[in-house]
Structure 1
Amino acid sequence: MSAKKIQIGSRPTGKVAVDEWVKNRESALTGKETTKRLTIDVPESLHRNIKMQCAARGTKIADEVREILLQKYGNV
């Protein structure tokens, strides 16, 4: 299993608000539109089913959920 690699930028100083630092860090790292986290609760059986199917396809749950949301609500 490969380890997930993340990039950690420099810590914010007293001159920069933490929220602003996070906002700027996200867009700087991805070069894309900033993202927002969406948390939902699903039944354990549904989560297990989604996880098994994603593992069988070699995809990530987050990527598949994003695709479903884009299909439903369109790409802004």
Structure 2
Amino acid sequence: MTGKKVNFSRRAERTVSADAWVENREPPSEQPEQEKMKRLTIDVTESLHKAIKSTCASRGTKIADEVRELLREKYQPD
């Protein structure tokens, strides 16, 4: 053993009973359920990857977000 001592403090007192908390809690906000994500893997040339990565870095965006937006424009037109 290393001789390290761990001190356990007392648990904080509950100010509200569990039943009262359940009865008075706020219902979850009505947000639409998000669709599950699926992974898509593609191969691109090194030069294309560098161009995409540098452009996204200069814009402060993620490659995945940019690619998702391009795919939405192509396959889910409004």
Runs of 4+ in 1 over 3 A off after TM superposition: none
What is the percent sequence identity of the aligned residues?
67
Length-normalised TM-score, structure 2:
0.55
Superposition deviation, residue 73 in structure 1: 0.2
Superposition deviation, residue 49 in structure 1: 0.3
Other-structure match for 2:40? 38
The answer as to 2:67 corresponding to 1:65 is yes
Superposition deviation, residue 65 in structure 1: 0.1
Gaps spanning 5+ residues in structure 2: where? 1-32
- State the alpha-carbon separation in 2 of the partners of residues 64 and 35 from structure 1: 15
Q: Which has the larger radius of gyration?
A: 2
Gaps spanning 5+ residues in structure 1: where? 1-30
Other-structure match for 1:56? 58
**CA root-mean-square deviation:** 1.1
1:35-72: CA deviation from partner (whole Å, max 9, x where unpaired): 11000000000000000000000000000000000000
The answer as to 2:49 corresponding to 1:47 is yes
How many pairs does the alignment contain?
Answer: 45
User: More relative contact order in 1 or in 2 (CA 8 Å, sep 6+)?
Assistant: 1
